[in-house]
Structure 1
């Protein structure tokens, strides 16, 4: 009887520890995220947009934990999102010469993509662009979780 109790306690404590760890992975990016840019800031940064697209929740590898939704604007100075992303760690923004909506396609095309910056907020973002990026050489913008190799969302802009 004592062995059953010990095994039960180890199992229950292990389960609680795992749940706490998983919750921490989910909540930590939210807790340490900087303040999201306001709607006014996003609109100012997106003025003079050369391209626009939409992030949608219904892409092939998007799911309830990995998604984005909203309007994306691209100009020579920045890429902006007026919308929301599922919270997560280590999001990177890429430009791709081909539209992708799966992790397999992302990994296949990653050598041809251009990583333009980090996404640190989950409601609206403004990611500055380095000078001279040939936006016309690409047709899609992608949010990717670098730490876990997870596809978040993408939009084709041309």
Structure 2
């Protein structure tokens, strides 16, 4: 009887340990996916660089935290500026993995409205900084043909923020 009880306890201890180990791996992987981009983020533009770009602004818009698709973990705030060959932000976006900047054919303020037009959107660049970032516009893209800009998390299919350009 004692041997059967010990075998039963041993199996359950091993099962508990294996489950705890697997849960730790899953949680660790999830945290790594989220925090790695934050730890490896590039430095954003400093005030002098932002000031030097001001003369080339063709259009601009405002990222706001209160968009229907934004939440406590997915947001942007500040002024997004567009020139013929560059798009830059004087502000911040929520940190996260695999962010992409899109020029979009109509304003989208949540995931569903972006997914409805994503096939007509133009991906401009990956975003590797979360404050005052700057990305180059590919030469073949006519920025004047797009009335809005959007930031999207490709890894998780999450809307981050968007702005209408004027």
Give the alignment's TM-score, normalised by structure 2: 0.84
Give the alignment partner of residue 111 of structure 1, picking from 97, 111, 119. Answer: 119
Give the alignment partner of residue 82 of structure 1, picking from 68, 73, 90. Answer: 90
Separation (CA, whole Å) in 2 of partners of 1:23 and 1:154: 26
Return structure 1 stretches of 4+ with deviation > 4 angstroms: none
Q: Secondary structure at the match of 2:119?
A: helix
1:121 is matched with: 129
Separation (CA, whole Å) in 2 of partners of 1:43 and 1:146: 31
1:64-83 to structure 2, matched below 5 A, reads 64-83=72-91
Aligned Cα RMSD in Å?
A: 1.8
Alignment gaps of 5+ in structure 1: none
2:46 is matched with: 38
- C-alpha deviation, 1:121, in angstroms: 0.6
1:55 is matched with: 63
1:92 is matched with: 100
Q: Secondary structure at the match of 2:56?
A: coil
Larger-gyration structure (1/2)? 2
Residue 160 of structure 2 corresponds to residue 152 of structure 1: yes
Q: Secondary structure at the match of 1:124?
A: coil
Separation (CA, whole Å) in 1 of partners of 2:105 and 2:38: 31
- Give aligned pairs, total: 158
Deviations 1:38-88 (A, max 9, x none): 122123224331212111222222222222111111122211101111222
2:26 is matched with: 18
Q: Secondary structure at the match of 2:18?
A: helix
Pick which of 127-136 and 69-78 moved more. 127-136
Alignment gaps of 5+ in structure 2: 1-8
- C-alpha deviation, 1:16, in angstroms: 2.0
